[in-house]
Chain A
Amino acid sequence: DAKTTQPNSMESNEEEPVHLPCNHSTISGTDYIHWYRQLPSQGPEYVIHGLTSNVNNRMASLAIAEDRKSSTLILHRATLRDAAVYYCILRNTGGFKTIFGAGTRLFVKA
């Protein structure tokens, strides 16, 4: 299964944008890039997903590199409630087996 690489932790100031990177150099052509986040004492929560084109939703934006070997989750204005562990995951149509890495722990300072 393809793997992803993320920084262990990142820090942001409240109200500022946050760019969370993810490398997935062994991604296959049918792998979707998904992002989930996990707040303390909760199960993971879906954030966004995409295949090739950049995606926007009410929570975040997903920027996908042209070669698809990396992607960036963008939180446009970080709030204290965005402090969580963010996971970048690859999912394939040929049978689903999500592999979670260690994720990036995001700290947000007031």
Chain B
Amino acid sequence: DAGVTQSPTHLIKTRGQQVTLRCSPKSGHDTVSWYQQALGQGPQFIFQYYEEEERQRGNFPDRFSGHQFPNYSSELNVNALLLGDSALYLCASSPGWARANTEAFFGQGTRLTVV
């Protein structure tokens, strides 16, 4: 089992550009959550997808959007990039979106640098 796979691992973009990050969940997991982690901080929840719909959202602007595909994989899109969007973006998968007693698996993250 490959666990949670994220691509790319590193990315450099220019202010104002758009970026798409990808996540393949662990086998058997149908719920995907995305987090932003600035240097030296804890992960901040962006949103969660289940059954191809956004189920929960954190305090992030509409520039951040996502998608979940029928095979449970997911994408995170960020439009009009700002310097402050530079961070590690983490994807986590878990089974069953409303189950709180399950283990979530995280990917290694995508390091986004905006210049």
Contact = CB atoms under 8 A, between A and B. Distances in A.
Contacts of B42: 85, 87, 100-103
B98 A45 contact: no
Nearest to B35: A100
A96 B56 contact: yes
A85 B37 CA distance: 13
B99 A96 contact: yes
A97 B92 CA distance: 12
The size bracket of the interface on B is 20 to 34
Contacts of A45: 106
A42 B109 CA distance: 7
Interface stretch (B13-21, B43-51, B60-68, B78-86): B43-51
A25 interface: no
Interface residues of A, number: 26
A97 B98 contact: no
Contact of B108 (A42, A97, A100, A101): A42
A44 interface: yes
Nearest to A41: B108
Contacts of A99: 45
B34 to A, nearest CB: 11
Contact of B103 (A30, A46, A100, A102): A46
Main secondary structure of the interface of A (DSSP, over half): loop
Interface in A59-104: 85, 87, 91-103
A100 B43 contact: yes
A91 B48 contact: no
Contact of A93 (B92, B98, B105): B98
Contacts of B107: 43
Contacts of B106: 36, 43-45
A97 B5 CA distance: 21
A100 B97 CA distance: 18
Interface centre among B48, B90, B101 (most CB of A within 10 A): B101
Contacts of B55: 95
B8 interface: no
A36 B105 CA distance: 10
